Amino acid sequence: MAMKDGHRVRGVIFTLLGGTCWGFSGTCGQYLFTQKGIQSDWLTMTRMVIAGGVLILFLLFKREKGMKEIWKDKTDVLQLLAFALGGLLFSQYTYLTAIFHSNAGTATVLQYLYPVLLMLLVCLVSRRLPGKREAICVVLAISGTFLIATHGNLHSLSISGEGLFWGLLSAVAGVSYSLLPTKIIAKRGSLLVTGYAMLIGGVFWGVISGVFAVPVNYDLGTVLAVLAISVIGTAVAYTLYLQGIQEIGPVKASMLASVEPVSASVCSFLWLKTPFTGIDLVGFALIIATVFLLSRRSRI
């Protein structure tokens, strides 16, 4: 029993740390956009290439099996490319662009609408109406988004239209990010698939967008923030979260990982002095509540 309790406590700590690192990385992105003049195109490429490189080097150090075999199976390669471009790249770019047009806290909360969209997609594919709990989640998600976007005033937006658009699109990207890699991750492992996908997506984006040639002032603040968002907020956070899943399971881990928008908002407020109103916080709470409701196994 003591051993199980120890694993449970460790899993909770790892998951909370992973979610906190994710939230902190969003604030690092906001810092780079507002203080250093960095563009989301460049940061998307750089974050993915560095994070992917770190993960692959880590797996090489561990002498992970399957690093070559994955390239010998055509189906694996196609699934990996689909996840790299339609999942990871799509998710990373929309999320960072949402931060660019709003702030880390708001963008992260809007991204957390993806479980509701995923649930609605499941209902559509299953040709059924949402259940009672699912319907409540839809109402909470719409209400929270409405409060964040308008502060209750139908005649004006409290955030930019671009921020709302990219935030909602990042939620859509979250759905594809969740669905595309399921088969290949089950076969090859999440760290290996994510590492390769990060590298592929980052290099691909750099080539088609031309951001390789964008001049950047690599002062100490820029370098530290880029390393923080790439290593701490991506490679380390993802590893901690996966370990948390192993210790306490995916349901509890997904609930605890919703500390991410809280972390992003607190870091943004304390570090960058981003103002949040009481209505913003109510909207945040409504959206985060959907994660807990959708994770519950008991019926309403």
What are the pLDDT digits (tens) for 218-231?
A: 999 999 999 999 99
Q: Could you tell me where the DSSP H helices lie in 73-227?
A: 74-82, 90-101, 104-111, 114-126, 132-150, 161-179, 182-188, 190-209, 220-227
- CA distances to 51, 167, 180, 230 from 69, rounded to whole Å, are 22, 37, 20, 27
**pLDDT value of residue 295:** 72
- Are the C-beta atoms of 147 and 280 separated by less than 8 Å? yes
Percent of the chain with pLDDT over 70: 96
What are the pLDDT digits (tens) for 195-209?
A: 999 999 999 999 998
Is the pLDDT reported for residue 75 higher than 90?
A: yes
Domain limits, the chain: 2-113+157-277
The three-point CA angle 116-149-261 to 5° equals: 55
The whole-model pTM stands at: 0.90
Amino acid making up residue 133: R
Q: Where are the beta strands (DSSP E) in the chain?
A: none
d(CA 171, CA 176): 9
Tell me the backbone φ, ψ of residue 34, rounded to 5 degrees: -90, -30
Rg (CA), the chain: 19
Secondary structure (3-state) at 276 = coil
What are the pLDDT digits (tens) for 79-114?
A: 999 999 999 999 999 999 999 999 999 999 999 999
* Calculated CA dihedral for residues 278, 283, 177, 55, nearest 10 degrees: 20
